[in-house]
Amino acid sequence: MSYNSNQLQLQFQGYLNTPLLWESHSVMGIYQLELPQKPIVQFKAKETPNARLGKRVEQFVFSELDKYDNINIRLENLQIQKNKQTIGEIDCILERDQQLIHLEIVYKFYLYDPTQGNTEIEHWVGPNRNDSLIKKLTKLRDKQLPLIKNPSATKALVDLNVNTNQLSQYVYFKAQLFVPYDEKLPKFNLLNKSCLNGYYIHYSRINMFENCKFFIPHKIDWLQTPISHVNWLTYSSFNEEITTLINNKIAPLCWIKFPNGEKQKYFVVWWND
C-alpha cells in the first residue's frame, strides 16, 4: 500500500499529538523519557517508511529525536543473536547530554474494561483482547529492558563501543485510550488522562448512529485525527462491512461523522455485549 506525503504527514502529526501514557513518575518501576516540547513540522524519512504501524512509529520517534541538539542516536533496532537465533531487539541507544540511554519504543491502543482485573493498570486491554497494558508492562520490565544484561547483548554493545554499565533505561510509551460509550469516565491516578482519544461500543448498539456517516481507516491511519475528505460510508454500507469484521472477531477503529459535522474515533467491539 503506497502513501503520499500528505498522508504520511497526517500520521506523523497524529503521532506527535499523542501524549506519553504516564508522566513524572514510574509505573511498575519503568520511567518515561520526557522531552521538552518542540515544534516539529515535517517528517523527514531517512528511508522508505515501513507500512507496518509499529515500524512506522519507530521511524517517527527517530525523526523526532533527531531534532534535539542534545540528543545523539547511537544505534537503532539492534538485533541480539545467540547461536544464530534472534533472542530480542534493542530499539534504540542514544546519548543525551553525555548520558547513555537504552530506550524502548511503544505505541498502543487500549480500551477500558472495568471487568478486567482489579487495578487501574489491569483494566486496559487491546481492541481484540489478545493484548493488555499489564501484559506489555510486564514484558518491558521482565524481558525487553533486562535484555542489555544478556551476555550476547553485552558483547554486541561493547563491540559497538557502548558500555552497558553506563546505560540508563527509559521507555517512550505513547497510547491512545478509549472508554465505553455513554458511561462514566474512569479515574486516572497513574495514567495520563490526556491520552483519551475516543470511545468504544458493542456492535449490537451501532444502530443508534444510523443517521451518521462512517469510515474504516487502514490500521496505519489509526494514528491520525479524523479528516473530512475521505469516502464516507452510509450506515447500511458500513453495517455490511463491519459485520464481516465482527464475525471474524476483529474490532476495527472507525471514524464517525455526526449530522452536525463533528468527527470522532470509535472502536466497534464484538466482546462486550
Tens of pLDDT, residue by residue, the chain (273 residues): 345 778 899 999 999 999 999 999 999 999 999 998 887 778 877 777 777 899 999 999 999 999 999 999 999 999 999 888 889 999 999 999 989 999 999 999 999 999 999 999 999 999 999 999 999 999 999 999 999 999 999 999 999 999 888 899 999 999 999 999 988 999 999 999 999 999 999 999 999 999 999 999 999 999 999 999 999 999 999 999 999 999 999 999 999 999 999 999 999 999 976
Per-residue pLDDT, 1: 39
Cα–Cα distance measured from residue 140 to residue 134, given in angstroms and rounded to the nearest whole number: 10
β-pair partners for 100: 95
Length of the chain: 273
Cα–Cα distance measured from residue 251 to residue 196, given in angstroms and rounded to the nearest whole number: 18
Per-residue pLDDT, 38: 80
- Listed residue (33, 29, 10) closest to 97, CA to CA: 33
Per-residue pLDDT, 42: 85
- Tell me the chain's radius of gyration from C-alpha atoms: 20
SS3 content of the chain, % helix, strand, coil (to 5): 30, 30, 40
CA dihedral in degrees (159, 161, 162, 165; nearest 10)?
90
Cβ 178 vs Cβ 112: under 8 Å: yes
Cα–Cα distance measured from residue 161 to residue 142, given in angstroms and rounded to the nearest whole number: 25
Per-residue pLDDT, 273: 60
